Amino acid sequence: MKSASRLEKVLEKGEFAVTSECGPPRGADAEVIRRKGEILKDVVDAVNVTDNQTSVVRMSSAASCFILKGMGLDPVLQMVTRDRNRIAIQSDILGAAAIGVNNILCLSGDHQVFGDHPKAKNVYDMDSIQLIHSVKTMRDEGKFIEGEEITPPPKLFIGAACNPFADPFEIRVPRLAKKVNAGVDFIQTQCIYNLDKFEEWMKGVRDRGLHEKVYILAGVTPMKSVGMAKYMKNMVPGMDVPDEIIERLKGVDKEKRAEEGIKICIETIQRLKEIDGVCGVHIMAIEWEEKVPEIVKGAGLYPRPEV
Amino acid sequence: MIVGERKPIEEIEAMIDPFEKIIVLGCRECVTVCSAGGEKEVGILSAALRLSREQNGRAIEIKEFALERQCDHEYIEQIRSMVPNYQAILSMACGAGVQFVAEAYPEIPVLPAINTNFIGVTEEQGYWTERCQACGNCVLHLTGGICPISRCSKSLLNGPCGGSSDGKCEVNKEIICGWQLIIERLKSLGQLDRYEEYIPIKDWSTSRDGGPRKVVREDLRL
């Protein structure tokens, strides 16, 4: 084992893993995190805590992870390279490991123009692949980026994101290979709505044997409404929402659309479970954490295994 | 070249408001090529400033002048005899030119009429785009001759990010994804396999992060 991560144990055991997400609040209230933690506890194996997602200022990921850890959850510290240089990143990694965080998700982060501080200066001292490489060096070689020794090194299970739907499509598998070579342990993909395209990507992944080198968790997000589906399709870069999804939501009464969204999500998970090389599912119910237990149970993934 | 554009006239008017006699100083280098601060633009700006001051009943005396360059001592010296007769210099050069003129004439305010934008190219008449951020450690041989530092909105060395869509950057659809360009170029060079080469974390100390920079060529020094 590379870490004390529950997620790593579940995957290592060959169980189909379930992770979810907790978005920290735009305020200093720890209760918000605790409420979300209560909903997700025992329902999922690990919980990602987003790092100022869409460049909107929120409570820090590390502090939120600390709260969840205290409740007995296995948090995944999301870390973007947008806001911190290598000094701050390595410092935060040591701090996270010290408070018992076992997992990290290495991201470049959304550009700040999307957020509430578009006039900010971005950092990008490194990119997400260089971050993977840095965390691995810290963990396995016990060394900082400049080669100085770390005692003791942070033992983190290293994750990264992958968007099978972004362009150019032909480098999407090579890009995963690059992350694997940099030392990533698990992948959580972008939300999957276009299953055919995802399967095409997974075939490419298997053809190169990458599914044997990294655990792939397929990302899903339940749709709340037609408006949300249209927004995801048209406004979120790198998102592939087929028209069938929108039509299906439109096909039911307005008050039943959220329910239909959950149904679609569960069906998607059931199909994903059958794909060779998919080791788990990452449920991103955006500000809709209370629906995660229903999705997990509906997809036949409850109770979670003992490890 | 260095690409700049003139500041809004209101901002310039506010800057020169305290003065009755100024020099508007153009530069015949980059800012002439990008039609921001050459001799022609000196004439246009001076006329506009005179007109607005006259309308406000506070006429201004403006000396129009353009130097070969504002980034070389020998040219800056050409206005030495003129300077004592004026209260301020409004420089239409890039930020380097403004500062170098100010260093030569510490007794007089030197004001910027131009916003210096970037090191770039003329795509077509009236249209300039950025190509280089002067990081001091060129990687163009690794990236098919397209700079990820200046052309990727996140300066990713191992891009593209997940926000690349239809060849466009997530920042806005007007921006071409720099990594899309790199990949297309590698493909046309028959070098797409190079995409998988990991580019290690960059040494930014050669960039501005290392502090103000200098180049010293001992072989050329007198």
pLDDT digits (tens, 9 = 90+) for B142-192: 999 999 999 999 999 999 998 888 899 999 999 999 999 999 999 999 999
- Span A105-119, pLDDT tens digits: 999 999 999 999 999
Report how many domains make up chain A.
1
Q: Which of A113, A106, A24 is nearest to B201 (CA)?
A: A106
Q: Quick check: helix, strand or coil at residue A259? A: helix
Tokens of A297: 């149970």
pLDDT at B218: 97
| A230 within 8 A of A246, measured Cβ to Cβ | yes
Distance from CA of A112 to the nearest CA of B (A): 9
| A113 within 8 A of B174, measured Cβ to Cβ | no
Structural domain boundaries enclosing A66:
6-298
CB contact under 8 A, A237 and B170: yes
**CB-based contact (8 Å) between A120 and chain B?**
no
CB contact under 8 A, A181 and B177: no
Q: Quick check: helix, strand or coil at residue B124? A: strand
Of B85, B118, B151, the residue that ends a domain is: B118
What are the CA-CA distances from residue A15 to residues A19, A62, A303, B66 (Å)?
12, 27, 12, 75
In CATH, what number is assigned to the domain containing residue B17? 3.40.50.2300
Task: Tell me if the bond preceding A152 is cis, omega within 30° of 0.
Answer: yes
| Mean pLDDT score, B11-15 | 98
Q: Name which of A126, A190, A233 to mutate to probe chain B: the one with the most chain B Cβ atoms within 10 A of its Cβ.
A: A126
CB contact under 8 A, B158 and A86: no
**CB-based contact (8 Å) between A72 and chain B?**
no
B-proximal residues of A, 232-261, CB under 8 Å? 237-238
Question: Whole-angstrom Cα distance, residue A40 to residue A58?
Answer: 20
Q: Sign of the C-alpha dihedral, residues A254, A259, A265, A270? A: negative
| Mean pLDDT score, A186-204 | 97
Residues A277, A212, A135, A27, Cα dihedral to 10°: 10
Chain A and chain B share a number of CB contacts under 8 A equal to: 93
Question: Whole-angstrom Cα distance, residue B194 to residue B190?
Answer: 9
Task: Tell me if the bond preceding A305 is cis, omega within 30° of 0.
Answer: no
Q: Are both B199 and B145 inside the same structural domain?
A: yes
| Mean pLDDT score, A89-95 | 98
Domain contains A136: yes
Domain contains B72: yes
Element (H, E) at B168: none
Q: Are both B75 and B99 inside the same structural domain?
A: yes
Of B118, B147, B172, the residue that ends a domain is: B118
**pLDDT at position A299 over 90:** yes
Q: Which of A86, A130, A163 sits opposite B158 (nearest CB)?
A: A130
Structural domain boundaries enclosing B34:
2-118
The alpha-carbon radius of gyration of chain A (Å, integer) is 18
Question: Whole-angstrom Cα distance, residue A270 to residue B197?
Answer: 36
Asked if ipTM goes beyond 0.90, one says: yes
**CB-based contact (8 Å) between A111 and chain B?**
yes
